[in-house]
A = this chain, B = another copy of it.
Amino acid sequence: MIGKKTWIIPDGFLQPKSRGEQVSHEAVCVLNLTESNAEIQLTFYFEDREPMETFISECGSKRTHHIRLDKLEDRDGNKVPRNVPYAIKVDSTVPIIVQHSRLDTSQEALALFTTMGYPIES
């Protein structure tokens, strides 16, 4: 089976400012090469408060999902806070591959970064 069920991304941050046509955001990009639907739980860890644990997403078999973190809502309708450093744990019911990217449009010209998630052996 290609991929892992748990992935870690330590550097998360939703830039509060945006200029131009594109809003500052992050995405957790998932590929599911299994034959089953992937049920995905995202946990957000902070510097000085308890984790937020009830963000749910999914990714179909043979599909990708670029999960927009600025649009996600947890079970109680809470969004991921902007302007607060966080880290992310991604848990899936089936093996997936996870990459994380940020778009920052706080100044006139946008900036991008990306990295593969850190895969956890199960």
Contact of A120 among B2, B47, B98, B110 (CB under 8 A): B2
* A27, A87, A106, A119 pick with most chain B CB within 10 angstroms: A87
Given contacts A29-B10, A98-B10, contact A104 B115 (CB under 8 A): no
Instruction: Provide 23 A-B residue pairs closer than 8 Å at the C-beta atoms, listed in order of the A residue.
Output: A8-B33, A10-B29, A10-B64, A10-B98, A10-B99, A11-B27, A11-B66, A11-B99, A12-B64, A13-B66, A20-B107, A31-B45, A45-B64, A64-B87, A97-B118, A99-B118, A101-B113, A107-B108, A109-B109, A109-B111, A110-B111, A114-B114, A118-B119
A65–B98 alpha-carbon span in the complex (Å): 22
Integer count of this chain's copies in the complex: 4
> Does residue A81 face the partner (Cβ distance < 8 Å to B)?
no
Size of the chain A interface, CB-CB below 8 angstroms:
53
Q: Is residue A72 contacting chain B, with contact meaning CB distance below 8 A?
A: no
Given A10-B64, A97-B8, A108-B111 contact (CB < 8 Å): no
Return the contact of A10 from the options B9, B21, B97 (Cβ within 8 A). B97
Of B48, B98, B110, the contact of A104 (CB 8 Å cutoff): B110
